[in-house]
Structure 1
């Protein structure tokens, strides 16, 4: 975007700004001086963004009081500037594009005759969502604050918890039209400079017209676009951001979004919520073990049932096999069709419960599942064991802390069911092998997605899976934060400006 310098005429600057905001009745232009004193000073702002009550009472009124009894043109402008600087942080603007950006960012701008600068101050007056509790990352013990939609509030929540001067914040603007503020946070003495430069290169390369949510950033900077697995972790918890930067991660926060992005992220970080750190280590490890079991149940529960009851009855104990066969008697559909019907019904109920009002959503989902399941069994469409398998699979999927990872497992469940219906346990094994192979090939900003599995440092791999007592956890160092040796990265780092 080419620069449009301001002129010494306030009227010409105002005319130029009005052309930028043509057919926009929200732009307000007011003269700062008394009617009997023409000092050539004007204030411009968008009425919907600026707090007009504070503007009138704290700024305009004070300026007019300071100018009372003063008829000198030059002295009046000097008085206005002194008053502005005494009231807060003033930014000097020399380009019309900067003026447009600041006006759209809840700032008011002052123009004065004879000066080629505009003077901007922030005075937001729009309502923001207050700090509340997390909606997805619920916890029993630990901090209960969640990010809001305002970037300044979110940054304050992070810096209030970490007062180190090594915590750096770099701001970029993304979106040709929206010019959305995006903040990149990292701990300078811990972050890997190679990963940081690669991250900044990807962010600088983003070309988008309007940035609405951090999900768009996630999709534009991830390594594999078509992978069902999320390669960047998102969180709404400030305490998890603090933990991430302490481990050498890079955090991306966007104005207007309550979700912060953490990169690079690994598969095991998707399975370990921040709540694990607030529980006794033996209980946290027990929950982690349960979580790994439910991960396999959520992914392979229906497919294993289809494979065993269709191709491998000899692998089922005789009493249990007789129960399955008795329940299956009279069912008109093969086991695969049963599973598809119940899985789709479960997904429809889950989606419906999200769209319904919160007061009735949970009741409708639970009652609907009970009624539909019982009606399907009574009418002979599906068998009782299939209802139990699908119900257990659905419950197991809710134990995955990362919502995006849970969705991935739900999607992959259907291809595994197709393989099980055609090839039995062999098909399930082939599907599981392909999933693991895909996970091994994934990268997150050049870092192995399954790190540290497969590395030479078995102690680090053990610490990633098992939570040790606090006194045995070493503080993160710069060397430990190098998640992958540069010689093993699959991406080529393009030389860029240094950010650390």
Structure 2
């Protein structure tokens, strides 16, 4: 439906489109003789009505009253002086502008209308990230407003090479999705792949970036997350400098980083702000806790059920003595405690923060102690399950921690069935699966994504800052510095 030269017919068409909507309003601009010159349409609940009345409506009325015979050119001059220069020639586009916190001005006799966005809805202030808490580093986190998030990025990266493209997804929600990248660092094939996958998204409603993440990832049936999400602008800037593409979704505080590797989910941004030997110690500790979180209970089940000869004799006697009188096999003990621990964890998340912490701590203590005292669960099993749960808390990425918790259960069944051999085969299957994964065409496991050993080790070991890779195109600052010295010598 094209824009009609008659303002009255355009208003009638809009009223039909927004029927039964109490927030749809319009204001008319008439000459002294009572002739209708223009009308402005908007949704009062999402536009800034104070800005609308004080700046736009007042200015147009003053210009009309200043002339004896105002025409369409008078209105055009007024709106152009106010910075309204977006021409719209289709009624559907006018409705999209109105629904996107904008106003649309129809002028009598013109087959185009003009629109501008003046959002007036409340937005959350910039605050600390809630899921990525660092001891040292920036304290700012993304919000649900796309412009605010881009401002946080531009604040840290003042370069003309920072590029962005906007897509509109969702047939009903019309959600803005923006991809951001550094022109001189990004891989052209990755950028093209990201654009094609975003354009392929066919959803009716897009509310959060998680919906886009699930749609565009390479292996949607894999439990492992393949696209990093973050609330931290400093992490986004670091990823941009390494040639990655950032995906922002209007209405979501989580930015997506593509492509991502498995190690990206294990290293928080805080590693870059600590001494390299502290950071490397913590990285090694996280790799250890990853293994404990994944196969701690299953290894205990395999050893105590099938391979008692592998346990030192004093420790074996302790295990056997605590096992006396327990009515359940070790496998069922572990399953009961793991399920109870997951229930407590979920309950602590859903309850208010002050109540949730006390429920998780007190509940774990009371249930564990009561289970031991009643002779249902042995003490070593309580220790193993507790250590496994604590180890999972050290994983920085919540998505990866959930994956490890999920895979822990099939490994428990395998270990109870076949012992250490089955556990080893299960771990081997997980590693094979990680080797087969891709993230936008790039290998997911860094161990096999380069023929240069240095490029592989940098995913696991943090070098001193002088020898650290500064960008995607630089091998290291030290090598660049050496090239400068060589040039000076010549």
Q: Which TM-score bucket, shorter chain as reference?
A: over 0.9
Tell me the distance in 2 between the aligned counterparts of 1:302 and 1:98.
58
Tell me the distance in 1 between the aligned counterparts of 2:178 and 2:447.
28
Classify 1:294/1:45 alpha carbon distance in 2 versus 1 (closer, same or farther; 3 Å).
same
Tell me the distance in 2 between the aligned counterparts of 1:230 and 1:332.
39
Q: CA deviation at 1:50?
A: 0.6
1:267 to 251, 262, 265: 262
1:154-233 aligned at under 5 Å gives the runs: 154-233=149-228
Contact 1:37 1:71 survives alignment (8 Å): no
Q: CA deviation at 1:383?
A: 0.7
Tell me the distance in 1 between the aligned counterparts of 2:55 and 2:450.
61
1:386 to 381, 388, 400: 381
Tell me the distance in 1 between the aligned counterparts of 2:56 and 2:219.
52
Task: Name stretches of at least 5 consecutive residues in structure 1 with no aligned partner.
Answer: 482-500
Instruction: Describe the superposition over 1:395-449 as per-residue Cα deviations: whole angstroms up to 9, x where unpaired.
Output: 1001111110000000000000001001110111010000000000000111100
Contact 2:32 2:65 survives alignment (8 Å): no
2:139 to 141, 144, 150: 144
2:334 to 339, 354, 363: 339
Q: CA deviation at 1:79?
A: 3.4
Contact 1:39 1:73 survives alignment (8 Å): no
After TM superposition, the score normalised by the length of structure 2 is: 0.95
1:357 to 316, 337, 352: 352
Q: CA deviation at 1:23?
A: 1.9
Q: How many residues align?
A: 476
Q: CA deviation at 1:453?
A: 3.4
Larger relative contact order, structure 1 or 2 (CA cutoff 8 Å, min sep 6): 1
1:60 corresponds to: 57
Q: CA deviation at 1:480?
A: 6.9
2:253 to 247, 258, 263: 258
Tell me the distance in 2 between the aligned counterparts of 1:466 and 1:189.
26
Task: Name stretches of at least 5 consecutive residues in structure 2 with no aligned partner.
Answer: 477-490
Secondary structure at 1:111 match in 2: strand
2:343 to 335, 345, 348: 348
Classify 1:207/1:387 alpha carbon distance in 2 versus 1 (closer, same or farther; 3 Å).
same
Secondary structure at 1:32 match in 2: strand
Tell me the distance in 1 between the aligned counterparts of 2:316 and 2:228.
42
Tell me the distance in 1 between the aligned counterparts of 2:40 and 2:32.
15
Q: CA deviation at 1:358?
A: 1.4
1:487 corresponds to: none
Structure 1 runs (4+) greater than 6 angstroms displaced? none
Tell me the distance in 1 between the aligned counterparts of 2:475 and 2:172.
40
Secondary structure at 2:253 match in 1: coil
Instruction: Describe the superposition over 1:312-340 as per-residue Cα deviations: whole angstroms up to 9, x where unpaired.
Output: 11111111111111111111000010000
Tell me the distance in 2 between the aligned counterparts of 1:71 and 1:394.
79
1:88 to 80, 83, 98: 83
2:7 to 10, 16, 22: 10
1:84-483 aligned at under 5 Å gives the runs: 84-453=79-448, 455-478=450-473
After TM superposition, the score normalised by the length of structure 1 is: 0.93
Contact 2:209 2:256 survives alignment (8 Å): yes
Tell me the distance in 1 between the aligned counterparts of 2:301 and 2:333.
9
Classify 1:250/1:403 alpha carbon distance in 2 versus 1 (closer, same or farther; 3 Å).
same
2:479 corresponds to: none
Classify 1:301/1:153 alpha carbon distance in 2 versus 1 (closer, same or farther; 3 Å).
same
1:46 corresponds to: 43
1:66-81 aligned at under 5 Å gives the runs: 66-74=63-71, 77-81=72-76
Tell me the distance in 2 between the aligned counterparts of 1:140 and 1:85.
50
Contact 1:51 1:125 survives alignment (8 Å): yes
Contact 2:181 2:245 survives alignment (8 Å): yes
Secondary structure at 1:362 match in 2: helix
Secondary structure at 1:234 match in 2: strand
Q: CA deviation at 1:39?
A: 4.0
Q: CA deviation at 1:454?
A: 5.7
Contact 1:192 1:478 survives alignment (8 Å): no
Tell me the distance in 2 between the aligned counterparts of 1:163 and 1:36.
54
Tell me the distance in 1 between the aligned counterparts of 2:353 and 2:282.
28
Classify 1:446/1:480 alpha carbon distance in 2 versus 1 (closer, same or farther; 3 Å).
farther
Tell me the distance in 1 between the aligned counterparts of 2:323 and 2:113.
79
470-479 or 46-55, larger mean C-alpha shift = 470-479
Contact 1:452 1:460 survives alignment (8 Å): no
Q: CA deviation at 1:478?
A: 4.1
Q: CA deviation at 1:84?
A: 2.5
Secondary structure at 2:40 match in 1: strand
Aligned CA RMSD, in angstroms, stands at 1.5
97-106 or 62-71, larger mean C-alpha shift = 62-71
Secondary structure at 1:178 match in 2: coil
Q: CA deviation at 1:89?
A: 4.7
Q: CA deviation at 1:73?
A: 3.1
Secondary structure at 2:458 match in 1: helix
Tell me the distance in 1 between the aligned counterparts of 2:57 and 2:283.
60
Instruction: Describe the superposition over 1:153-200 as per-residue Cα deviations: whole angstroms up to 9, x where unpaired.
Output: 111111111111111100000111111000001111111111111111
